[in-house]
Amino acid sequence: MKVPFLDLGRLHRPIRSELDAAYHRVMDSGWFIIGPELEAFESEFAHYSEVKHCVGVGNGLEALHLLLLAYGIGPGDEVLVPSNTFIATWLAVSQCGASPVAVEPDVRTHNMDPARLEQAITSRTKAIMPVHLYGQPADMDAINRVAAKHGLVVIEDAAQAQGARFQGRRAGSLGHAAATSFYPGKNLGALGDGGAVLTNDDAVADKVRRLRNYGSRVKYHHELAGANSRLDEMQAAFLRVKLKVLDDWNARRQQVAQKYLAGLAGCAVQLPFVPEGMDPVWHLFVVRCTERSRLQAHLTEHQIGTVIHYPIPPHRQSSYSGFASHHLPLADQLAAEVLSLPMAPDLSNAEVGAVVDAVRQWSC
């Protein structure tokens, strides 16, 4: 049986008429940038995320970048980031003129290891940016404790974790502020680029609101050297439709994950680990395997789509050539071993069964 890694056309079919209606509503309104759809989405997503403010921006990278600017982080400053993340987490820091400082993960969860934070802190450290990788929150109580002790800002990169909970609290509400991405493949994905900042801090929300719109509160009055990074009306309208089904879709991801965990127990692949108190949303279902390329080839032969998140850690990218000598063995090891199996709310039980059978055939 052919199992796609992710088929967004198929995923959207059950909500197609509502997405069409959203498109027509915006088209008929003739209003495309900063208007009623954005305002409504910001209020609905802030409520969903259990924070006071949501500010829609152009994409997840910009959400991180504008937040760092809002906290005044710039040249000479250091920000602690995971060694194993999508490059956007690092780029946001570099784009402010600050330096990313890599912290290795806990290899069981793949998330930033709080026990490694203090040794990375210097007099220049201003912030910690944990990523809730693959949809599972980082150990935020421990991270917040270290941050409070050293007077650091905590900015969550919640791009992969819309709806996840940590000790009952929503991802996006666990630090001083959070950034998220509505890239189409995310759990809450737009039909194009999009992102948002989440925070309970009135001043930070106000600053990001100005920074995203040419530094302006009143048209043609520019108080800050801002960016043009706005979540447009069309994407906001689509996101309002998709926010209504997010919990149902996340619940189905959870069922798929449980089927994988039960079906693959005892196989020669390392399965995801969920610590007590975590309620992940399974943006990705990532296994580890020392013979990854053979496993991936076997699954491809069986028409099962897989992807590697991520094959090259940031410090090995040519854009970060200055970091090539940094000793980050866990990021290197994970990059060599991780493999993402198909994960989407529209996977049928038969498709999940086909993935389980194919992995078992190879490794059990």
Ligand X SMILES: Cc1ncc(COP(=O)(O)O)c(C=O)c1O
Q: Which of 125, 136, 160, 235 binds ligand X (CB under 6 A)?
A: 160
- Does 232 bind ligand X (CB under 6 A)? Our answer is no
Nearest to 132 by CA among 97, 180, 189: 180
Q: Give the shortest CB-109-to-ligand X separation in angstroms.
A: 15
Cβ distance to ligand X smaller for residue 83 or 89: 89
Q: Which of 89, 125, 173, 199 binds ligand X (CB under 6 A)?
A: 89
- Does 144 bind ligand X (CB under 6 A)? Our answer is no
- Does 157 bind ligand X (CB under 6 A)? Our answer is yes
**CB-count burial class (<10 Å; 0-12, 13-18, 19+) for 149:** exposed
DSSP-derived secondary structure letter, 277: T
**Among residue numbers 168 through 187, which ones bind ligand X (CB under 6 A)?**
181, 183
The tokens of 208 are what? 């990001």
Burial call 92-121: b when 16+ CB within 10 Å, e when fewer = bbbebebbbbbbbbbbebbbbbbebbeebb
Query: How many angstroms separate the CA atoms of 254 and 165, rounded?
Result: 13
Range in contact with ligand X (rule: CB under 6 A) among 5-13, 85-93, 106-114, 356-364: 85-93
Q: Give the shortest CB-91-to-ligand X separation in angstroms.
A: 9
Binding mask 39-58 for ligand X (x = CB under 6 A): --------------------
The tokens of 16 are what? 């197609």
Q: Give the shortest CB-194-to-ligand X separation in angstroms.
A: 7
**Among residue numbers 193 through 222, which ones bind ligand X (CB under 6 A)?**
193, 195
For 17, the 3-state DSSP assignment is helix
- Does 85 bind ligand X (CB under 6 A)? Our answer is yes
Query: How many angstroms separate the CA atoms of 283 and 285, rounded?
Result: 7
Residues lying near ligand X in the complex (CB under 6 A) = 59-61, 85-86, 88-89, 131, 157, 159-160, 181, 183, 193, 195
